[in-house]
Amino acid sequence: MVGHIIIEKVTPDGECGRYPVKRVVGDVCIVEADIFRDGHQLLKAVLLWRREGAESFNEAPMQALVNDRWRGQFTPVDNVLHIFTIEAWTDRFGSWLSDFTKKTKAGKALKGDLLEGIELLRESHDSAQPGDRDLIARAIVELASLNAAAALAIFARPELVQAMDRADSRRDKTRYDSAVRVIVDRERARFGAWYEMFVRSQGSQPGQPGTFAQAEQRLPAIRDMGFDVVYLAPIHPIGETNRKGAGNSLRSKDGDPGSPWAIGNGHGGHTAIDPALGTIGDFERFVAAANRLGMEIALDFAIQCSPDHPWVKQHPQWFQHRPDGSIKYAENPPKEYQDIYPIDFDTPDYEGLRLELLSVIRYWIDHGVRIFRVDNPHTKPIAFWSWLIAEIQEARPDIIFLAEAFTRPKVMMSLAKAGFTQSYSYFTWRNTKRELTEYLSELTQPSVSDFFRPNFFANTPDILSPILQIAGPPAFKMRLVLAATLSPSYGIYSGFELCENVAEPGTEEYHASEKYEIKYRDWNRAGNIKEFVALVNRIRNANPALREFTNLRFLVTDSEDIILYAKATGNLDNIVLVAVNLDPFQSHYCTAFIPPEVVGVAPGQRYRVTDLLTGAVYEWGDRNYIRLDPAVEPAHILRIDDRL
């Protein structure tokens, strides 16, 4: 049969099916396509979707929009991979009825046109559903003695049109030539507040390493601040050879704990725990305690070794050797990591290597871990990640992978396409109104948003941004509000709530970095912002609009120092406006312009807003005055409460 129907420009399409797009359980997955054919016949189209492995597709009707654009939708309810495609066909009865109606109303319908319609009814009778056959048969009998004008009322009966639609044989049906895969993640993949900590710094005595038992005692306080995920820096045995000293010194002293990312010694490697922290049983109890409090544990997965890692002796072929036989240590010029050996993915034993790494992930899953923060994934082959994540999620689609990839944009996007659930982002270095607006506008639009889910970490053990170094608590509060309300997923590294801001001169590195020494902190010391962090997280949890990302809309203010944006649920049941003073040193004011449709009011209609940070209530309209003093509060988080 000659192909008449064209289906193209499908969205989302995963780059013509090469990569799966991402959604979350319960999301409405909206699919659009250009669908057309030669001639003027009418078309029908359906969206076909199923869980991977299911034998048959579910159908959802597609509706014509304008200019041959069609739209359909489905809602996945399971945390499994889904597949969708599109099918279209000529609506023979609908096309005939459209022409017959026009001719009849113009007085030009002929007996032949009437007979053609009756013949279509006869063709459909036998294939019709049992309940529809009598309906079609009665129509045929009625039509036999009528003229065209009288017949039109019968042909146009809604019940007959619906019966003919159900009986349509779809004789020339055409299917889109790609099946688009959809990774349907659990909600934590999109929404969560992360807290990063080093277990060894959770002790109660200065200089003494903390244990899992002591870290467990801190979990209620972390929960009370509103965090959902506790991310642990590596917990494995740390190498002795070339161990780094305090401040990244090349020479360590007795008692220096070394960098946790220099993994492995005589106690084991990636599936072992540093004995100073406890045992695997202690770890399991720690995980269980977090789960009871409603939190999950994320584990660092760093594919690298100290010179003392068991793999160095057991699998020397997994490492790159110099001509003299020595193994090259890791470098990222000008940085050098003399205590770390990188893995050589060009090893002849690549199959053995990747199976071993797969077994490491499976080991920790068996011990209760459902989230992995992956260290520097951009320095490993993207094809490896595509394989590893697919292998894990085939059996455990609930497992989440966060890419710590501060690298080039296209590499970050490729890692997301390869399967990473989330990624670190450039948020840490976006400070001005223009920078934030341009960056977020990029991230929230397809096709970027189909693949890439950012996690807005406000700081990390490697990154203490300049604004945090120089501006004190107002800057910490300002950056927290931005991270927590712009992105559904965000995180802080421990010490943020204490406003730790001392860096090595001229760098973004923390002074006395916790990467190389054990920290002891007074978690209740003066000047902390724990209550503010807890309040912001409560606001996030109470407002569904802040659980989404692509619903972000920037609004106009007449100040470059005050950024304003809105987030709303699809039915406008929950609308949040956020205004942030980006200058932590002085107060600023502006006029804020709120389009009525953003807040669901008529032009000129007034409405009441509540500042969820202070409890203050304001009456707002199309133009509103805002003044924000960072010494008081750097932001408004406003909920629309009443239309007046």
Question: Which residues participate in catalysis according to the annotation?
Answer: 375, 404
Q: How far apart are CA 4 and CA 2, in angstroms?
A: 6
342, 262 contact by CB (below 8 A) = no
- CB within 8 Å of 106: residues ≥ 6 apart: none
**CA pseudo-torsion sign 484, 487, 488, 489:** negative
Rounded to the nearest 5 degrees, what angle is found at the Cα of 100, between the Cα atoms of 99 and 103? 85
DSSP classification of residue 38: S
Count of alpha carbons within 13 angstroms of residue 632, beta-carbon side: 9
**CB neighbour class for 602 (10 Å; exposed up to 12, middle 13-18, buried from 19):** exposed
The residue count of the chain comes to 644
Question: Sign of the CA dihedral 247, 252, 257, 258?
Answer: positive
Which residues lie closer than 8 Å to 456 by C-beta, 6 or more apart? Answer: 425, 427, 482, 483, 484, 486, 487, 489, 490, 491
Cα–Cα distance measured from residue 530 to residue 494, given in angstroms and rounded to the nearest whole number: 11
CB 484 within 8 A of CB 478: no
Q: Which residues pair with 342 in a beta bridge?
A: 304
Q: Encoding tokens for residue 427?
A: 């948020």
CA dihedral 373, 374, 376, 378 (to 10 degrees): -120
Instruction: Kindly state the helix (H) or strand (E) to which residue 385 belongs, with its residue range.
Output: helix 382-395
Our CA angle for 24, 29, 33, nearest 5°, is 145
How buried is residue 69: exposed, middle or buried, by Cβ count under 10 Å (0-12/13-18/19+)?
middle
